[in-house]
Structure 1
Amino acid sequence: MDIFYYLKSCDTCRRIQKTLDLPDSVSLINIKENPLSSEQLAALFLKTNSYAALFNSRAQLLRKRGLKASALSEENMRDLLLEHYSFLKRPVLIYQDELFIGNAPATIAAAEKVLHE
């Protein structure tokens, strides 16, 4: 299943969604309204073998809690990812079994290439 996890209120996510011109086959999931389930997170983990790859180390909530991403274990990251949507690095695109995480220009370019081959 092709999925685009994003935050509707995030300008960067909206810009990337527009840039990618996602096909209708891609399900759009606003993570604020539909937080990740443990099953969805497990499926993402199978593709990355790392919660750190999915973790937003710049989340404001992380700073508010006085935490540093570098000090967190994989298990801590997993728990935080399930606890609050803002800990997911976004956007996340799963398309034809490929995974694209975050908003780095190289990531977006790679996603565009796969989407429009």
Structure 2
Amino acid sequence: MKIYGLKACDTCRKAARALPDADLVDIRAHPMPDALLDAAMAQFGAALLNTRSTTWRSLPEAERQDAPMELLRRHPALMKRPLIDADGTLYLGWGADVQAALV
């Protein structure tokens, strides 16, 4: 199992503590594989893009109009976190539903 997120993100760290056998992959240091990003976008669509983040708020309005995949490739921190890959099944976020499915 892999947790894709940021090592400095509190939610990602909570997920990593609750899932001790999972590897936390910092997406700034190690970008997500294109195939995984494509699968996540196909499954979660616009929900994959975190429009409440500091990174989003700092983007110029013109750049915000770019395609979500382009934005996520240029600015990995725009991804809602964590994205958890549990043997091919993807989970987004660390809400009660994801915790119930994985813990």
Give the TM-score category using the shorter length.
0.7 to 0.9
- Give the share of equivalent positions with the same residue, in percent: 30
- State how far apart, in whole Å, the 2-side matches of 1:83 and 1:35 are: 10
Aligned residue for 1:35, secondary structure, equals coil
Counterparts of residues 82-93 of structure 1 (less than 5 Å): 82-93=73-84
The TM-score with structure 1 as length reference comes to: 0.71
The count of residues paired between Structure 1 and Structure 2 equals 101
- Judged with a 3 Å threshold, the aligned counterparts in structure 2 of structure 1 residues 99 and 39 are, in CA distance, closer, same or farther, namely closer
Tell which deviates more after alignment, 36-45 or 2-11: 36-45
The TM-score with structure 2 as length reference comes to: 0.78
Partner of 1:99: 90
- State how far apart, in whole Å, the 2-side matches of 1:31 and 1:59 are: 15
- The reply on whether 1:30 has 2:30 as its aligned counterpart is no
Q: Where does structure 2 lack aligned partners over 5 or more consecutive residues?
A: none
Q: Where does structure 1 lack aligned partners over 5 or more consecutive residues?
A: 113-117
Q: Of the two, which has the highest radius of gyration?
A: 1
CA-to-aligned-CA distance 1:69-98 (integer Å, 9 cap, x gap):
xx85xx611111111111111111111332
